[in-house]
Structure 1
Amino acid sequence: MSTTFDPVAFKSTTRTQWESAAEAWHRWGPAVESWLGEATERMLDDVHLTAGSRVLDVAAGAGGQTLAAARRVGPTGHVLATDISPAILEFAAAEAARAGLDTVATLEADGEDLSAVADGSVDAAISRVGLIYFPDQRRALGEIRRTLRPGGRISAVVYSTPERNGFFSIPVGIIRRVAGLPAPGPGLPGPFSLGGPGVAEAAYVDAGLVDVSVTPVPSPVRLASAAECVRFEQESFGALHQMLSGLDEGARDDAWAEIEEALGQFDGPDGFVGPCEMLVVSGTRP
């Protein structure tokens, strides 16, 4: 079997998996916001949002950060949420409507092809746990840079290294072993593809961005138990679904059982506290 990476097939599978996981990711929204809230606030701080700002949200998912941005820019601002999965954007749109945020719009779009967004048309761009999964991160960053006005800011939340993200790297490691999957090579998409020292900075600089900064944000995953963390990941983490897709049901069940046992080390008197560190990576279009 060929191990050559196929970006077209990867995107197709990614879209399918997020179409399937959309409802669960939305349902787990309160847990996601608790987990990523601090990193999200730092991301929004870093793009200098003010009343009236025009914001592009790339790989917006169910839109927790989209709504947070919309609240910051107020009734004179605008937030465009894009994602490869139309199903997950439906949840973002519904949540915006429920919150009375009529300044939010959604657009099904590949983050590597934002041709529907005009050059220099936004003041700020954000992406929360999305950029890491683009097969061509350079192209995606170039597209985002193009949409920014001169002086506009981009900020993305990404995972740091596997060693600092045990709640996710342990399941990933088990699934790779069980499914016989190699670790992604340099430059290939994956949860930790921008986490290594200097990697995210280099990607931004290569895309023509300046004033690049990287801020680590401790983001522990706090849930009732390791079993609840497994339910969270099993139901809503598209990347893990994608990795498990080649296994039969029995093998998948065995993998999840092994993951729950391994994550049990993070159970304690205050419940489950899964190690996680996010990086907020920010830069400016000259």
Structure 2
Amino acid sequence: MTETLVSSPAPAVFDAGKFRQTTRAQWESAAEAWDRWGPLLARWLGPATEAMLDMAAVGPGSRVLDVAAGAGEQTLTAARRVGARGHVLATDISPTILRYAKAAADAAGLSHVETLELDGERHDRLPVASFDAAVSRVGLIYFPDQQRALAGIRHALKPGGRFAAVVYSTADRNPFFSVPVGIIRRRAQLPPPLPGQPGPFSLGGEGVLAKALEQAGFRDVAVRKIESPVHLPTAAECVRFERESFGALHQMMASLSEDERADTWQEIEQALLRFESPADGFVGPCEMLVGAGTR
């Protein structure tokens, strides 16, 4: 009598290549909205942005690398800091969103801003030791190989140069975002994130960001917490912002029908109403971390 061996299914593995393709497509699609919501981003992330630039020691004459720059609101802030004697290179995986960044820089008369389409993990292609400082605002969390990304950034920095990144802290400190993610995950019956899968809260745990920077060879590492509440007139307006600008949420709902998606957004709005009041409007709790280290 022979035994039939039935092999168990192989565990699901995170597909980094597919994730990169999807991420690029998401930002190509959301580029116009991200640019249009620029004034909100400036108000919401302004304190974290200033802390990031301070911790990266960005000042007059600095050569600055802005990684995953998006539509460039923080790029322009850096460019104004460095002045005409400085230089800012904004990189992103999405060429469309970089066109918005360049247009904004040109409109502001900031001719010392350049843009370059580049995957966030491939800054090793830049000349070695060519920047005084590097920054990344809410970008590092979405790179499939964060250590490879950090190695490339470190490669591009001069010895003694500083890198600083803004990331979300933990999900419980960011319900304006984590509540919609949880509702969509339940409705779409999505499994938990796979091991190694990047995401908004992938560097938010206690000590995780500092460890990542140290592992990449950065020294003098420091991490600051920045309260960054999202202020909008209503919860409905927050849902509109997330619906137009957060491409990842749409990707999570890909398996749902149009009616199911509409119902999901309605549930999200109802859940976010608890952060709305007649006196203050919508105030969505959000906490950012700013981590920095020296090359």
TM bucket normalised to smaller = over 0.9
Query: What is the total number of aligned residue pairs between the two structures?
Result: 285
Write out per-residue CA displacement over residues 86-129 of structure 1, whole angstroms, 9 at most, x where no aligned residue: 11001000000000000000000001012441111000000000
Cα contact 1:80–1:107 (8 A) shared by 2: yes
Q: Which residue of 2 aligns with 1:125?
A: 134
Q: Which residue of 2 aligns with 1:264?
A: 273
Residue 279 (1) aligns with residue 289 (2)? yes
Q: Which residue of 2 aligns with 1:67?
A: 76
Give the aligned residue type for 1:55. Answer: V
Partners of 1:183 and 1:54 lie apart in 2 by 41
Partners of 1:37 and 1:183 lie apart in 2 by 32
Write out per-residue CA displacement over residues 172-203 of structure 1, whole angstroms, 9 at most, x where no aligned residue: 11111111223324532000000000111111
Which of 55, 64, 69 aligns to 2:64? It is: 55
What is the correspondence of 1:141-160 to structure 2 with a 5 Å cutoff?
141-160=150-169
Give the aligned residue type for 1:272. Answer: F
How many percent of aligned residue pairs carry the same amino acid?
Answer: 65
Partners of 1:184 and 1:148 lie apart in 2 by 32
Partners of 2:192 and 2:101 lie apart in 1 by 32
- Aligned to 2:123, the other structure's residue is in SS state coil
Write out per-residue CA displacement over residues 235-278 of structure 1, whole angstroms, 9 at most, x where no aligned residue: 00122122222322222111111100000000012100000000
Cα contact 2:66–2:89 (8 A) shared by 1: yes
Q: Which residue of 2 aligns with 1:176?
A: 185
Q: Which residue of 2 aligns with 1:241?
A: 250
TM-score (norm 1): 0.97
Q: Which residue of 2 aligns with 1:196?
A: 205
- Aligned to 1:26, the other structure's residue is in SS state helix
Q: Which residue of 1 aligns with 2:4?
A: none
Unaligned runs of 5+ residues in structure 2 are 1-8
Residue 165 (1) aligns with residue 174 (2)? yes
Unaligned runs of 5+ residues in structure 1 are none
Cα contact 1:14–1:242 (8 A) shared by 2: no
Q: Which residue of 2 aligns with 1:108?
A: 117
- RMSD over aligned Cα, in angstroms? 1.2
Cα contact 1:186–1:193 (8 A) shared by 2: no
TM-score (norm 2): 0.94
